[in-house]
Amino acid sequence: MINIKPEFLDIVNYALCQAVDDYVGKNAVSFFRKVGEYHLDEALERKYVTLNPRDKPLENLIRIARYLESTGYMEKILINKLSESEAIVDMYGVSVTKSSADLLKAGKQPSHYMTNIMLAALRRLGIQAELKDVDFDTDDRHFRERWRVLGPSK
């Protein structure tokens, strides 16, 4: 079994995000949203993750979180429900910490890889949501996002 080091993945993430920003600029967010959709399609097809429309949206997102933890992309993902329409998502042991922090500090678009897979899952379930980067701590390799469910997707 090959074990990819997080440091290598972090550099790959930085290089890809920089290239996307250079080539598509303002469309980087849409580009990375599409990447999340393609990843979700493949993960579903390969049966690495499942979606169930009968489950609550949060239960589906937790399954995606466990999948991403199992790959080593992140050590732990906690989803804390604030209300029926809002949640805080804490990501610990993020493998792409340095690249994501550097991109955010430079005002560029990080890949938001986990986020875009989860947004794709919600769209697939007919739910529209938005997020906001709240905080990050590079020493602890921790990122926090605030999610808000907007309602049925259009």
What are the pLDDT digits (tens) for 99-147? Answer: 998 998 898 988 989 999 999 999 999 999 888 877 888 888 999 999 9
In a domain, 59, yes or no: yes
Residue 37: which CATH number?
A: 3.90.1520.10
Q: What is the pTM of this model?
A: 0.89
Amino acid at residue number 80:
N
Q: What is the mean pLDDT of the chain?
A: 91
Q: Note whether residue 98 is domain-resident.
A: yes
pLDDT tens figures, 35-67: 999 999 999 999 999 999 999 888 899 999 999
Which structural domain, as residue segments, surrounds residue 134?
A: 6-152
Q: What pLDDT score does 154 carry? A: 61
* In a domain? residue 44: yes
Q: Rounded to an integer, what distance in angstroms lies between the CA atom of residue 144 and that of residue 114?
A: 12
